[in-house]
Structure 1
């Protein structure tokens, strides 16, 4: 049988002469916000260390009584979480605040946008006790019909809605594991199906043409072509540091990173063209001066100057890398590893694109 954590109310004398109250957990409990084991929790309640009159003594007594009341409530919460009882006080806690705090800690902006949509949907108020299957399904319907936050006249794409609902479900799963929700509603929710989209990419001739076309921004040119040769995402190119460029025995010069999006460790060998693009070793960022704004009009102007009639974004460099690898005969498993995909099924879409191109070429030959 599990040992129930005991919550004691303790006092500590500060250098200022005041006394601070805190909870002492034994054995320690896991803090649901930091996910670390915690022994002490300070209440932010202070007593007079040396009360000089009745008013101060009465104040100390009142604060001690409030501290004991809080201790009793916290002991009840600990028992409820450890033994699976319904914690009625927890059900009144602010779920929106929990959502916002977790979203802020994520590097992916999708979390913050998802939170903002849920905040709008709930009118800015939602407790843990209000998280029901019906509410979650209504949020799903909301996302399927919601407008974009930035472009308020445009509807969310189905894929965007799918991504935001996926993050919401991940939060529900986390909250249930932490025993903040009494029901695992996530198991009863349907995904928002993802629509297949055409992944634009450059073929070999277009890539060569682009490389030979002058670009007004040298750092945009080098960063874009480097992405085409490594498959690195924008976020990884933006944050790429010379410390990530390492000589690996038996392989040569490589990019050694943990990707920003998936936090996957990767060691990517660099070809001669990629090494030429980064130039001589320095310190700091590999592509200093590279920024998001360069991937809008400056990139579009460069693509147009190369006479490439496709809607090419910076992320298309990653598609280019993947499709050219598969076109050149690289097996799907190796391509998946080079792209740092966690699932080979994610990489399969590139193989399907290449197969479609093969079918188009075959159908271009006819006896009629």
Structure 2
């Protein structure tokens, strides 16, 4: 039933006051609870018989506010937006909602949740999620300490990443109609600092391949990352069922990447396939763990004589820079890396100095 009239009413209460409420006629049905609503208490009170100039001014101000709310409700009803009826949603715990969403995603999302939990002192409802609060959280992250190493301040890029996670949660909450407004329209992202991306040259990759490693599965996975550009999280959980024959007769990987949470098909070279070992049920790189990678990759790299500070993620940088240096177009590399935007891949193109020199020499006046 559509409401055709919204009236501002007053009801006498204690201490010589009126309570203001809205009267809907005919009543409107809450699309969630299916109950018919006729009245909405505004929580605004005025004096029945104002005696002083201050009381009269107060009454006028409260009546203006009540009339403003009445006008907004009329617009809501015209637009068939009944969100204002679901006041119980605003009282719900946003912190619990954030935690559930973060747990379903990844550790970065959960770290963002933990920082927000610390910021709001363990309590926050949807009603409290406002633009000023979001901006205060952004400022808080820029001054916050690392969760594990409490004496160490968060890096600018970590603060930016956590705030990005927080804004993505706001977007989901708005889409699920738990927030009445898309707050992201009023929020600015945290600026990201340029960081040095370490990568290996082709000769260094070959050197690493010739260097013995006490963990053969880690060595195979590392070289596999150099040849495919796959992220550590995706390599650890890569299953043999995800390596299949493509229509062209070659093998490919059909996976759902952990970071983007979308399915993608990536070609795999014969050399990369050899690094996978014998096909058998289950994981491709059995026994490979994050702890093994974090602890032993730097030791293995140092043993090879390479002086660079290389982490497992640098193997992904290595794949990208080698592909671009060897002439693969940036759009193809972007697809291989499963980037959402080519501009992200452009960073690797800027790292390849040989390409810059080549392009500079193309213009000649001789």
TM-score bin, normalised by smaller chain: 0.7 to 0.9
1:293, distance to aligned residue in structure 2 (A): 1.2
* 337, 340, 345: which one aligns with 2:338: 340
User: In structure 1, what is the equivalent of residue 208 of structure 2?
Assistant: 210
Aligned residues: 298
CA separation in 1, counterparts of 2:151 and 2:323? 40
User: In structure 1, what is the equivalent of residue 24 of structure 2?
Assistant: none
1:340, distance to aligned residue in structure 2 (A): 0.9
1:71, distance to aligned residue in structure 2 (A): 7.9
Q: Is the 8 A contact 1:172 1:186 kept in 2?
A: yes
Please, which moves more after superposition, 135-144 or 174-183? 174-183
Deviations 1:125-184 (A, max 9, x none): 111111111111110100000001001011111111101101111111222222222332
* 169, 172, 191: which one aligns with 1:171: 169
CA separation in 2, counterparts of 1:296 and 1:170? 29
User: In structure 1, what is the equivalent of residue 94 of structure 2?
Assistant: 95
CA separation in 2, counterparts of 1:326 and 1:74? 63
1:262, distance to aligned residue in structure 2 (A): 0.7
CA separation in 2, counterparts of 1:279 and 1:75? 70
Q: Normalising by the residue count of structure 2, what TM-score does the alignment of the two structures yield?
A: 0.75
User: In structure 2, what is the equivalent of residue 301 of structure 1?
Assistant: 299
Structure 1: segments with no counterpart, 5+ residues = 3-26, 31-69, 364-368
Q: Is the 8 A contact 2:145 2:152 kept in 1?
A: yes
**1:186 partnered with 2:191:** no
Q: Is the 8 A contact 2:325 2:355 kept in 1?
A: no
Q: Is the 8 A contact 1:264 1:340 kept in 2?
A: no
Q: Is the 8 A contact 1:222 1:278 kept in 2?
A: yes
Q: Is the 8 A contact 1:335 1:347 kept in 2?
A: yes
Q: Secondary structure at the match of 1:195?
A: coil
Q: Is the 8 A contact 1:172 1:185 kept in 2?
A: yes
**1:104 partnered with 2:103:** yes
Please identify the structure whose Cα radius of gyration is greater. Answer: 2
CA separation in 2, counterparts of 1:343 and 1:329? 20
User: In structure 2, what is the equivalent of residue 160 of structure 1?
Assistant: 158
Specify whether residues 263 and 91 from structure 1 end up closer, same or farther in structure 2 by C-alpha distance, changes over 3 A only: closer
CA separation in 1, counterparts of 2:236 and 2:178? 37
Specify whether residues 275 and 178 from structure 1 end up closer, same or farther in structure 2 by C-alpha distance, changes over 3 A only: closer
User: In structure 2, what is the equivalent of residue 282 of structure 1?
Assistant: 280
CA separation in 1, counterparts of 2:181 and 2:267? 47
Deviations 1:289-309 (A, max 9, x none): 101111123111110111000
Q: Is the 8 A contact 2:325 2:354 kept in 1?
A: no
Q: Is the 8 A contact 1:242 1:282 kept in 2?
A: yes
Matches within 5 A, 1:345-360: 345-355=343-353, 358-359=356-357
User: In structure 2, what is the equivalent of residue 55 of structure 1?
Assistant: none
**1:148 partnered with 2:146:** yes
Specify whether residues 317 and 74 from structure 1 end up closer, same or farther in structure 2 by C-alpha distance, changes over 3 A only: farther
Q: Secondary structure at the match of 2:253?
A: strand
User: In structure 2, what is the equivalent of residue 9 of structure 1?
Assistant: none
Matches within 5 A, 1:1-368: 83-85=82-84, 87-106=86-105, 108-355=106-353, 358-359=356-357
Specify whether residues 208 and 74 from structure 1 end up closer, same or farther in structure 2 by C-alpha distance, changes over 3 A only: farther
CA separation in 2, counterparts of 1:347 and 1:202? 17
1:320, distance to aligned residue in structure 2 (A): 0.5
1:103, distance to aligned residue in structure 2 (A): 1.3
CA separation in 2, counterparts of 1:358 and 1:303? 28
Structure 2: segments with no counterpart, 5+ residues = 3-28, 41-75, 362-366
User: In structure 2, what is the equivalent of residue 36 of structure 1?
Assistant: none
Deviations 1:190-217 (A, max 9, x none): 1101111111110001000000011111
Deviations 1:35-67 (A, max 9, x none): xxxxxxxxxxxxxxxxxxxxxxxxxxxxxxxxx
Q: RMSD value over aligned CA atoms?
A: 3.0
CA separation in 2, counterparts of 1:274 and 1:76? 68
